[in-house]
Amino acid sequence: MALAVTALWWQLAEHRARVAEARLLKATDRVAALGDSLRRAAPGHRAAPAGAIPASDLEQLRRAGLHDPEREILADLARHPELIPFPGVEGGTMRFYAGQGRLVTGEWAYGYFEDGHVAGRGLFEFRVGPGGRITWKRITAKLD
């Protein structure tokens, strides 16, 4: 009787191991797929086509005094690290990287920031005033 119970227990353990291994393989495949997706969407990867914001928004920004709206707005954002609500760590200083930001609309910009140790991102509202002067307001920001 004890031998039968042991054999049954062994079969059950083998079945559980096979099920666990199959789940692990599925999870590994899913993690690999997610990793590929993240690498494609990583800062610096230009997934969005040029002109992703409406042409009417770009024209409005040009009328407000900007010659190259995306470049000028993201460069201005980079000059405003006070919009980042997180301190740097280990002696680092948080700053924006204009080449990794994006215009979302004619009023919002996505900004990527880091200090060399930790990184984050945020959504920032901007207004273009007379003479192309840009003012900013943080909508949301988080660390990665």
Q: Which of 118, 138, 135, 143 is closest to 64 using CA atoms?
A: 135
Rounded to the nearest 5°, which phi and psi values hold at 100? -110, 10
Q: Residue 29's Cα: distance from chain center in Å?
A: 22
Planar angle of CA 94, 65, 122, nearest 5 degrees: 25
In the predicted model, is pLDDT for residue 22 greater than 70? no
Is pTM, for the whole model, over 0.85?
no
Write phi, then psi, for 88 (nearest 5 degrees): -70, 160
* Nearest to 84, CA basis, from 73, 76, 95: 95
pLDDT tens-place string over residues 99-121 = 899 999 999 999 999 999 999 99
